[in-house]
């Protein structure tokens, strides 16, 4: 079956540091890949997505590239802000649109 | 604002009580989902409805029932609440095409004592 593996957390960074959050997946066929963000006390929001190999999703300074050869979709940001503190979930979608989520990782950014 | 609305936001139940969590979406989406979120476990799918009139079990359906009342509404019922059902519950909807992802509600924080 489908699965998503995220790096262990939590992650604590200083403001303006570079961020990488690793995500790898196992799936049959050609899934779509997503990053969701959950701010404290809120529901999940779609951050970015990529629907085919070599696509790059981007939003709010975050980027992730769909790498089929390494089955990865790592999230990056060049300079994090305190307001980026949240829980980040990697997910994949099968053709029937059911999402499989990773366990999430908590990011804390210090001023 | 268009989106997914969940009620209530908070609820405390005693063991054995029943309750229904309500979810409604106004985006004309075909598919709707119920997840629970627990520390260290990520999101786990309880039930889903691929289209109006259909429902299917997800990863953790035991102790829950669902009703897809119409295209807009998808409710989750706990018939006899247990402390193990203490969690944050999220409803989500999607157009039903894999490339478009989900829209989530803001969640219901349920405590069973």
Torsion of CA A58, A24, B35, A10, to 10 degrees: -80
- CA of A35, closest CA in chain B: separation in Å? 10
Task: Kindly determine whether residue B102 and residue A99, on different chains, have CB atoms separated by under 8 Å.
Answer: yes
Distance separating alpha carbons of residues A33 and A40, to the nearest angstrom: 23
φ, ψ at A84 (rounded to 5°): -85, -5
At A87 the pLDDT is: 95
Task: Kindly determine whether residue A96 and residue B50, on different chains, have CB atoms separated by under 8 Å.
Answer: yes
Measured CA angle at B51 (ends B50, B57), to 5 deg: 40
Read off the DSSP letter of residue B59.
S
At A57 the pLDDT is: 97
Residues of B in contact with A53 (CB under 8 A): none
Contact A55, A65 (CB under 8 A): yes
**Percent of the residues in chain A that have a pLDDT greater than 70, as a whole number:** 99
Distance separating alpha carbons of residues B108 and B36, to the nearest angstrom: 9
- CA of A89, closest CA in chain B: separation in Å? 8
Residues of A in contact with B42 (CB under 8 A): 89, 101-104
Chain B contacts in chain A segment 33-72 (CB below 8 A): 34, 36, 42-46, 49, 51
At B98 the pLDDT is: 66
Q: Is A83 left (phi over 0), alpha (psi -120 to 50) or beta?
A: alpha
Distance separating alpha carbons of residues A24 and B44, to the nearest angstrom: 18
Could you list the pLDDT tens digit for every one of the 113 residues in chain B? 679 999 999 999 999 999 999 999 999 999 999 999 998 888 999 999 998 989 999 999 999 999 998 999 999 999 999 999 999 999 999 987 666 789 999 999 999 99
Distance separating alpha carbons of residues B113 and B111, to the nearest angstrom: 6
CA nearest B55: which of B85, B22, B23, B32? B32
B100 vs A: CB within 8 A = yes
Q: Flag residues of chain A having pLDDT under 50.
A: none
Terminal alpha carbon distance of chain B: 34
Residues of A in contact with B29 (CB under 8 A): none
Task: Kindly determine whether residue A46 and residue B102, on different chains, have CB atoms separated by under 8 Å.
Answer: yes
At B45 the pLDDT is: 92
């Amino acid at each position: 079956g489908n699965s998503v593996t995220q790096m262990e957390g939590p992650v604590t960074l200083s403001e303006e540091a570079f961020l990488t959050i690793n995500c790898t997946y196992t799936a049959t066929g050609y899934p779509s890949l997503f990053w969701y963000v959950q701010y404290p006390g809120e529901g999940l929001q779609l951050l970015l997505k990529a629907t085919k190999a070599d696509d790059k999703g981007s939003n709010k300074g975050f980027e992730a590239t769909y790498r089929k050869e390494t089955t990865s979709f790592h999230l990056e940001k060049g300079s994090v802000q305190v307001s980026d503190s949240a829980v980040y979930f990697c997910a994949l979608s099968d053709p029937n649109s059911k999402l499989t989520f990773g366990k999430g990782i908590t990011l804390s950014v210090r001023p | 604002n268009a989106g997914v609305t969940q009620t209530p936001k908070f609820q405390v139940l005693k063991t054995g009580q029943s309750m229904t969590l309500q979810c409604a979406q106004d985006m004309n989406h075909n598919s709707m989902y119920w997840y629970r979120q627990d520390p260290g476990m990520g999101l786990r799918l309880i039930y889903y409805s691929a289209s109006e009139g259909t429902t299917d079990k997800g990863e953790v359906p035991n102790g829950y029932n669902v009703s897809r009342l119409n295209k807009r509404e998808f409710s989750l019922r706990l018939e006899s609440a247990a402390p193990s059902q203490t969690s944050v519950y999220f409803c989500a909807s999607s157009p039903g095409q894999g490339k478009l992802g989900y829209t989530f509600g803001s969640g219901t924080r349920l405590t069973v004592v």
